A = this chain, B = another copy of it.
Amino acid sequence: MKDIQLKQLFVSTDDYTGKEIIIRGWVRTNRSSNKFGFVEINDGSYFKSVQVVYEEAFISNFDEIAKAPISAALCVTGELVLTPESKQPFEIKAREVIVEAGSHADYPLQKKRHSLEFLREIAHLRPRSNTFSAVFRVRSLVAYAIHQFFQENNFVYVHTPIITGSDAEGAGEMFRVTTLDLDKLPRAESGKIDYSQDFFGKETNLTVSGQLEAETFALAFRNVYTFGPTFRAENSNTARHASEFWMIEPEVAFADIHDNMALAESMIKYIINYTLEHALEEMKFFNEFIDKGLLDRLNNIVSNDFARVTYTEAVDILSKAEKEFQFPVKWGIDLQTEHERYLTEEIYRKPVFVTDYPKEIKAFYMRLNEDGKTVAAMDLLVPGVGEIIGGSQREERYDHLVNRINELGLNEQDYWWYLDLRKYGGVKHAGYGLGFERIIMYITGMSNIRDVLPFPRTPKTAEF
Contact = CB atoms under 8 A, between A and B. Distances in A.
Interface stretch (A12-20, A83-91, A155-163, A304-312): A155-163
A202 interface: yes
A101 to B, nearest CB: 5
Interface in A122-161: 123-125, 127-128, 132-133, 136-137, 139-141, 143-144, 147, 151, 154-161
Interface stretch (A49-57, A294-302, A403-411, A454-462): A454-462
A44 B103 contact: no
A37 interface: no
When all copies of this chain in the complex are counted, the total is 2
B216 A421 contact: no
A326 to B, nearest CB: 29
B44 A221 contact: yes
Given A175-B179, A464-B166, A104 B424 contact: yes
Contact of A144 (B7, B157, B426, B428): B157
Interface stretch (A222-230, A313-321, A343-351, A370-378): A222-230
Contact of A233 (B136, B159, B161, B179): B179
A220 B244 CA distance: 23
The number of chain A residues touching the other chain, given as a range, is: 35 or more
A61 interface: no
A463 B185 CA distance: 23
A162 B221 contact: no
A124 B204 CA distance: 19
6 contacts: A71-B424, A101-B396, A101-B425, A136-B221, A176-B178, A200-B457
Interface of A: 3, 5, 7, 24, 26-27, 43-45, 71-73, 100-104, 107, 123-125, 127-128, 132-133, 136-137, 139-141, 143-144, 147, 151, 154-166, 173, 175-180, 182-183, 185, 193, 199-202, 204, 206, 213, 216-217, 219-223, 228-229, 231, 233, 235, 243-244, 246, 253-254, 396, 417-418, 420-421, 423-428, 453-455, 457, 459-464
Given A73-B425, A178-B178, A217-B454, 9 more contacts: A43-B222, A44-B220, A107-B424, A124-B418, A124-B420, A160-B454, A163-B175, A166-B463, A199-B460
